[in-house]
A and B are shown apart, each in its own frame.
Chain A
Amino acid sequence: MNPQSQSSTPSYTINCRMIQEAAALERLCQVVRIRGFRIATMAVETAGEHLNIALTLEGTRPIAMLQSQLEKLHTVAEVALGSNSVARSRSA
């Protein structure tokens, strides 16, 4: 892999709140993968009936497209794009 090209891949932070259910995280990760993003970091916290999931994602496709696909998931209550996600390049 060319490290140069990897370092120029845009990186985004996303916070997602979704209902806890069987396969909740798999459902989320599946959409992230198939829509063209790679999970760099992921932190999950349980909050009552919900999961709060903080993700750092990398990918060259428009992040708005992923956001609207995640929002479509029945158990996703909220998807917030982090303020540092303005398609910035990941620092090498």
Chain B
Amino acid sequence: MNGAQHILDAFHRHNISTVFGYPGGCIMPLYDALVDDVGVEHVLCRHEQACALAADGYARASGKLGVCIATSGPGATNLITGVANAHRDSIPMLVITGQVPSGLIGTDAFQETDVLGMTLGIVKHSYLVDDADSLPAVMEEAMTLAQSGRPGPVWIDIPKDILLTEVAAAPAPTPAQPTASCPDLTDAIALLRAARKPLLYSGGGISLAHAEDRFRAFAESSALPAVVTLKGIGNPGKHNPYNLGMLGMHGSRAANKAVDECDLLLVIGARLDDRATGKLDGFAPNAKMIHIDADAAEINKLRPADLAIRGELNAILENLTGALTSKPLTIADWQRQCRTWHTTGGFSAADNEEPLAPITGPAFIRQLSRIAPDDTIVACDVGQHQMWVAQHYEFDHPRHHLTSGGLGTMGFGLPAAIGAQFADRDSTVINVTGDGSFMMNAQELATIRRYRLPVKLIIMDNQCLGMVRQQQELFYANRESQINLDDNPDFVAMARAFDIPALHIERTDQIRRGIETILAYDGPMLLHVAISREDNVWPIVKPGASNTDMIDETRRTSKANKEQVA
């Protein structure tokens, strides 16, 4: 077996059946080995960035390792945004790139770039393989590392000659996983019992730890009022009466109010990101904080914890559930108060009764949420539409909501949806995108067509970079700068050019039929939704301000939208 064949062998042994990649000179030995391999499905995207983002979407939707492959030089540099995206959201990913032959490294050879050097800040770990016999151990270690502890992308850069060299070393054993023991929770339980207004604050760490079920059980049995970060959406479940939704910059008034008023914050699997906390000085000013996380470096990073617990979340949540089930918390007044806030300060969107009224983002997303099947996966792009999904779509599981949280990568949604559809060919996968974001990876329509993926595409077209326009309006005296996209292509015609049928809607009375049509269609379909250029996402907290200083003009927007489409 040569190095390339060894890589495929390692995939087989680890049940990796789908990889996303793009060939080129230095990775050709691996593509040659793929010709004889029937066990690994290689998905050819149309840009390496999309390969990485599709691998990311695959990993998010399935909980498995995402794998992407590219050649040296431009292939590797094109991967970078996608790998950075995975790094910022701690997505388990294996990245394999070809490198120029060992003897040419450092000679400015054709398509040579210092991949190891330029990617140090966006990987959990990386390797430049300098000996074919080290490849088995490197592969094993990389796959384990990417998925263990706090997951993340691991990059293996392999010179072409090593891919062609016979590997004498036997496959390496998989490193043993440390057994998870539960840390002492006595103090945590005492703090919870002493609190009058405890609040559960959860993030993306729950699904990263595969602790979704244990978290759900804990949230339900403790009946703690709960807020979530963007990546924690879906953690408490859509039927949890104490779920106040997302907090932070575009969070609900109810969620931010509860954080402001609580006397104990139980933070689980969240890193207190600035988009969630707002100005730290004003964040949860009356609260003690218990911080539970798998990553020691997150604890005390931004706000000192009164009690820090590092450990495996499943074990911790199981024990917390046991303790609070045997003796429930007595917080009825606080629960009542939070439910009242939820009623009066949850995300609100006026469902416009007027059939000829233009479509608003929130109203559209609410209908989508009501109509789409329960296990639908929604992959968003970045911008206003992303926030409307976060606010108004009711997710019942965190893996149903794929969103670029840490990096905020426009162009994420379409390849991520492709990856999610490969993870589960039978589930409904919808990419909700904006007219700006869509054009960042629009070439992937070709991938959808090639693999006949039934991905549904929804473009919320406001003819501009809406989120930037909104911030220019609110924080830069409405001085619009380089946000105009009114010369967009005809998206319906564009989809059709890829053999993807498409539909255009613009009035409120067309929403239901539009959504039902694309969902019922047996194959990919695009819904082009014209929305007003002026619509804003409410509430909003000015970047750097405190979450208590929310600007909320929901009512003004709804009034403006009473106008009819001509």
Binding site for B on A (CB under 8 A): 21-23, 26-27, 30, 34, 64-65, 68-69, 71-75
Contacts and interface: CB of A to CB of B under 8 A. Distances in A.
Give the interface SS of chain A, mostly helix, strand, loop or mixed: helix
B297 A68 contact: yes
Interface residues of B, number: 16
B130 interface: yes
A77 to B, nearest CB: 14
Given A22-B127, A74-B125, A75-B125, A27 B120 contact: yes
A21 B300 CA distance: 30
B117 interface: yes
A64 B145 CA distance: 24
A69 B271 CA distance: 14
A30 to B, nearest CB: 5
Contacts of B128: 22-23
B121 A34 contact: yes
A50 to B, nearest CB: 17
A27 B301 CA distance: 20
Contacts of A26: 117, 120
Nearest to B296: A68
Contacts of A30: 120-121
Interface in B236-291: none
Interface in B183-242: none
B385 interface: no
Contact of A71 (B117, B126, B145, B296): B296
Contacts of B397: none
A64 B299 CA distance: 11
B442 interface: no
Interface of B: 116-117, 120-121, 124-128, 130, 145, 295-297, 300-301
Contacts, number: 33
A23 B124 contact: no
- Residue with the greatest number of chain B CB neighbours at <10 A, chosen from A26, A69, A72, A73: A72
Given A26-B117, A34-B121, A72 B126 contact: no
A51 to B, nearest CB: 16
Given A68-B297, A72-B296, 14 more contacts: A22-B116, A22-B127, A23-B116, A23-B128, A30-B120, A30-B121, A64-B300, A65-B297, A65-B300, A68-B296, A71-B296, A72-B297, A74-B145, A75-B125
B301 A65 contact: yes
A49 B32 CA distance: 35
27 contacts: A21-B127, A22-B116, A22-B128, A22-B130, A23-B116, A23-B120, A23-B126, A26-B117, A26-B120, A27-B120, A30-B120, A34-B121, A64-B300, A65-B297, A65-B300, A65-B301, A68-B296, A68-B297, A71-B296, A72-B295, A72-B296, A72-B297, A73-B125, A74-B124, A74-B125, A74-B145, A75-B125
Contacts of B121: 30, 34
A78 B126 CA distance: 19
Contacts of A75: 125
Contacts of A74: 124-125, 145
A32 to B, nearest CB: 12
Contacts of B301: 65
A18 B120 CA distance: 16
Contacts of A23: 116-117, 120, 126, 128
A21 B129 CA distance: 10
A40 B121 CA distance: 22
Contacts of A65: 297, 300-301
